[in-house]
Structures are given as C-alpha cells and as structure tokens.
Amino acid sequence: MTADGGVRLVCDGPVATVTLCRPDVLNAQTPAMWRAMRDFARDLPGDVRVVVVRGEGRAFSAGLDRAVAGAGGPDSFAELAALPADQADDRIAGFQAAFTWLHRPDLISVAVVQGHAIGAGFQLALACDLRVLADDASLAMAEVTLGLVPDLAGTKRLVDLVGYARALEICVTGRRLDATEAQRMGLATVVVPRGDLDGAVADLTAAVLAGDRNAVIEIKALLAGAAGRSPVEQQRAEREAQMRRIGDLTGRGE
C-alpha cells in the first residue's frame, strides 16, 4: 500500500485501487494529491491490468480544494500566476500527468462514482476508460463558475464521448448532470443502485481480466486511436494488430 497527500494506492494482484481519502471535504483535490497520483504510475507492479479509481465516503470528489488554491502559499493561484510562463506550463503539465497515466494502453481504468463528481472530480472520472455510476451520482464541469477552464485533460475526453456541441454546453454552463442523463449521453458505462456499486465494479473487473491481456491491450490501442485515423488507416491498424496476435499465438511473433 502507498499513501500520500490524501490519496491511497493498494495493489492486489492484477487490480490496483486508487482511493481519494479526504471524505471530510468530499475528497476535494489538491496539487499534493495530483503529485501522489502521478507517482503511483511508477509504483504499479508489472502484473497490474485494471486500475479502479474511487473516493471514500459519500462523494467521489467535489473538485478542486479551493482552500488550498485560493490561499497565498505553495500551489496557490497566486504562486502559479507569479511563475514564468514556461514554469507555469510545466507545473500544470505535471498536474495533468496525474490524470493521463490512466490512459495507458496496458491498463483498463475504471472510475467508481457515487455522489458528487465536480470539476476535477468529473475530469478524474473522464480520465478513466470506463465509469460505473451509482444512481445518486451528480457530474458537473464547474470550472467556469470560478472563472477557470477545465485543464486536467478532461476537455478532449468529454468531446470524444458526447460531441463538441454537448461538451460545450456542459462546460460553459457548469450545470449538473444526474446519473440518468450521464448514461443517456454515453458518459456512464453502467448505472446501478448505490448499494450495488461494489458488486458491479467487481463484475466488470472480472470480465476485463477474463480476456487475454495482450488482446485487450491491442483492442484498447485500436479503439483509442480510431478517431484520428481514416477508415483505410483504421483497417490497416486492425490488420497489423491481428497479425501481431496471430504471430504471438502461433509462436511466430517477432
């Protein structure tokens, strides 16, 4: 087990669980938590195939901890604004890395969302490949209400899932989406009663682990890259991936 800055990593065979553990503030996120999550990518054993991301208590994450960001100390908005442009860019890129490692092709990441997933919480859920929502989940990209933009790698993921016009409406209004609407939009893989959340995650994880690991990796890479390829390019990528699999299965791979 690794724990740091209000977030915890527990590895159990092929499943790693990242838990936001500040339930007293609805798992509001801080830069210290983002640094810890970024570092977790280096701590994963090589046999991990699934990463489950969840929050302790009654909420997934209420978003940015404004008590930290609005103060005058380290990692505050004031400190960030005072940095030279290149250093500020590097600082935010480091924060983004806490989310983007969940895109890794060798992992399937699953967000387990109950209660609020607001701002950075919504973006953390979007960083995952799959999202299991409790029926009390409430999602919002609320950065606009603070005069900010979503900057934790969530904007492209949102556009990919719901399209430009709907993503724009969600981001510029900052409105709340309930679990039913999130599922209708394609933001939720499945919605279940709150009491069934753990069972649904366990079932989904078991189903992912039942597949051949290398086939799952190839499939994720094919689908993740599909939007940026033409049909001809995607078909070529499918052929190349299939020949790699056939080569491995017949012992004729490189």
When the candidates are 3.40.50.740, 3.10.20.30, 3.40.250.10, 3.90.226.10, the CATH number that belongs to 2-209 is 3.90.226.10
Comparing C-alpha atoms, which of 6, 10, 135 is closest to residue 61?
6
At 2 the pLDDT is 63
What pLDDT score was predicted for residue 36? 95
Q: Quick one: which of 172, 170, 3, 34 has its CA closest to 101?
A: 34
- Cα separation, 66 vs 225, in Å, equals 35
Domain assignments of the chain as residue spans, ordered by start: 2-209, 211-250
Report how far residue 196's alpha carbon sits from residue 242's, in angstroms, rounded to the nearest whole number: 37
**What digits encode the pLDDT tens for the residues 58-116?**
999 999 998 877 777 778 888 899 999 999 999 999 999 999 999 999 999 999 999 99
Look at residue 187 in the predicted model and tell me its pLDDT: 97
- The CA–CA distances, whole Å, from 247 to 105, 233, 239, 250, 251 equal 20, 21, 12, 5, 6
Please report where in the chains the tokens 């509001």 appear, as a residue: 28
**Residue spans of the chain under pLDDT 70:** 1-4, 253-254
